[in-house]
Structure formats: structure tokens, C-alpha cells
Amino acid sequence: MTLRGLRDRKGQELIDGVIEMVDRLKPLHLSIVGGDPLVRYRELEVMIPLLLDRRIHVQVVTSAFRSLPPGWATLANMNVVVSIDGLQPEHDVRRAPATYDRILKNIADQKITIHCTVTGQMMKRAGYLKEFMEYWSPWEQVRKVWFSLFTPQVGDRLPEILQPQERRQAIADMLALRKEFPKLDMRTGLIRQFATPPRSPRDCVFALTTQTLSADLKTKIVPCQFGGNPDCGSCGCVASMGLAAIAAHRLGGIIPVGAIFKASVRIGQIGQARAKQTAEHQAVEEGPRVLSQIIRN
Ligand code: SF4
């Protein structure tokens, strides 16, 4: 079955389902991604204050194809991420109707984070990422910029895939640009992780510490938000690299944080197996405390 074949919840049923889920799983962070979550903007306007009241950090990832609710700009613990994939000529072709003109209109009173997925086509033009930063940095509506690299599925042969030299160049560009553009909110340790992505989902702290659910709130998307059979060796997900950078950090200079993550996940899995024996009926299993919970629309 494809994701499109699933019955998405909407209206009060969606709101109640999400609140019930977070009350049960108690995530620290909830990312709501698409499709485009703003398709359900009425539900989001009700749901988001309820989530923030529960002290959950909430992130909405959107194309900004429609106006964002004005109140979102000032909410604490709330991050609106707008996907902008390249400079206007390339982005407008890929992401219409969420064109540059429409995004600029719809984020007029907002404070957003831009997320740009870097492709092989972009890296064939020297200076592309710098031009991107030069365009978006001056806008006061832009709080931060993040870059990911295009992540293929195993066996894909697409022009979007970065060749090894292009990946190295993207890393070098990001390392240089973060000094020039403070809004490029990517630490050196995170950027360096792009050079050594996890070998498999079993090595991926992001996959181990998050759960991704479809908007039916039952169907798990595995092994990570990409679903299917992602090519981990070519992974370019900024969230994965961010958690890998944290995992690589050594507490007290001795114990890698990743070892603690993995031990915690193992303990969670043992607990999960035991809980399963007594709660077979649960539609969504409780895992280790999740760092991120993602709902597809
Ligand atoms: S986030 Fe990247 S490394 Fe982790 S499982 Fe998914 S594709 Fe693999």
C-alpha cells in the first residue's frame, strides 16, 4: 500500500488523535511535515497551542503555499520551516505553486527557518550556495537557514544525487559560508558529519530516536522519515547529521554520547517487548522517549 492509499484523519478526529498520541508517547519534539501540513491549517491552529501547553517543541515544515497564521511568529517553542529548494529559477520550477513570489507574500509577518535541499544540479554551478545565502540572509523574516543534501533511495540514478566531489564541495562551501552568514545555523561539527553519514539505520541516531507516523496516526514510516530503502551512505538529512554530531560528542572527553543513546534505545526496546506482552492491542507502540515525532500529511 502506498501512503496515498491511507485514510488520513482530518478535523476534530485529527486534533484528538494527535493530542492522544503525544499524551501517550510524551515526545520532546514534534515535527509536522508533508505533503504540506498547511492543507490542514484549521486543525493546526487549534492543535498547536494545545501541543505547546504540553511543553513540546513544535516544528511545522511547509512550502508556504498559503499564508501562515500571524500569531505563529511570536510563539515560543515553535519553529516554522519553509522548504526553499534553490534560487528562484530552479525552485519555482520544482515547487510551484509555492513560488518565490508567493512565499515572500505568505511569510510577510513571520519569523521562519529556511530549509534548502542541495542537489547535484545546484553543485554543478560554482558559488550557488553563496548566492542562495546572499539572497535570503538580508530578509528580516528569515531567522535561520539550514541545508540538507539530497538523499536518494538505494539504486536511484537521478540528477539530484550529488557526486562524491560535489558532496565534498558542498561541505567545504557550508563550512566557509557559516563564517560569512550568521543566519546559516549549522555548527562545524554538524557540517563535518555529512562526510561520514551513518552506514545503515541501525547506526543512525536519528532513526533510532524518532518515530515517523502517517496522518492516519497508526502507520509507521520506517526506517526514518524518508521511508522505503534510503541510501544511508548518501544521506544528507540535516537532522540526522545534527544528532550524529551530538552522538559523536564525548561526555567528559570519555564516553561518546552515541553510546548512551544506543544503550538507552536498547533499554527502551527491552521495555517495549515487555509492554507488548501486556498491551498487544496498542495501535502505536511506545518506544524509548522520542526526540522527534513526525506526522506526514
Ligand atoms: S536519516 Fe539518513 S542515515 Fe538515518 S536511516 Fe534515514 S537515510 Fe539512513
Cβ contact 197:234 at 8 Å: yes
Residue 68, C-alpha cell as written in the block? 501562515
Question: Which residue, by CA, sits nearest to atom 8 of ligand 1?
Answer: 232
Residue 178, C-alpha cell as written in the block? 557559516
Distance separating alpha carbons of residues 52 and 78, to the nearest angstrom: 8
Question: Which residue, by CA, sits nearest to atom 1 of ligand 1?
Answer: 240
- What is the phi/psi pair of residue 104, to 5°? -60, -35
Name the residue among 183, 180, 114, 115 with its Cα closest to residue 148: 115
Which of 150, 211, 232 for mutating ligand 1's site (highest number of atoms within 8 Å of CB)? 232
Residue 203, C-alpha cell as written in the block? 547506526
Name the residue among 220, 236, 69 with its Cα closest to residue 168: 236
Q: What is the pLDDT of residue 6?
A: 57
State pLDDT tens for residues 143-166.
999 999 999 999 999 999 999 999
Question: Which residue, by CA, sits nearest to atom 5 of ligand 1?
Answer: 201
Which of 211, 226, 292 for mutating ligand 1's site (highest number of atoms within 8 Å of CB)? 226
Helix, strand or coil for residue 281? coil
Question: Which residue, by CA, sits nearest to atom 2 of ligand 1?
Answer: 235
- Say if residue 150 is exposed, middle or buried (CB neighbours under 10 Å; 0-12, 13-18, 19+): buried
Name the residue among 108, 111, 83 with its Cα closest to residue 95: 83
Q: Is 235 in the pocket of ligand 1 (CB under 6 A)?
A: yes
Distance separating alpha carbons of residues 19 and 34, to the nearest angstrom: 19
Domains of the chain by residue range: 3-248
Q: What is the pLDDT of residue 92?
A: 96
State pLDDT tens for residues 73-132.
999 999 999 999 999 999 999 899 999 999 999 999 899 999 999 999 999 999 999 999
Distance separating alpha carbons of residues 7 and 9, to the nearest angstrom: 6
Q: Is 204 in the pocket of ligand 1 (CB under 6 A)?
A: yes
Q: Is 205 in the pocket of ligand 1 (CB under 6 A)?
A: no
CATH architecture, range 3-248: Alpha-Beta Barrel (3.20)
Ligand 1 atom with the smallest distance to the CA of 240 is 1
Distance separating alpha carbons of residues 66 and 212, to the nearest angstrom: 25
Residue ranges, the chain, pLDDT below 70: 1-7, 249-297
Distance separating alpha carbons of residues 10 and 18, to the nearest angstrom: 11
DSSP element (H, E) containing 60: strand 57-62
Ligand 1 atom with the smallest distance to the CA of 230 is 7
Distance separating alpha carbons of residues 166 and 51, to the nearest angstrom: 40
Cβ contact 107:83 at 8 Å: no
Distance separating alpha carbons of residues 175 and 185, to the nearest angstrom: 11
What distance in angstroms lies between residue 148's CA and the mean position of ligand 1's atoms? Answer: 12
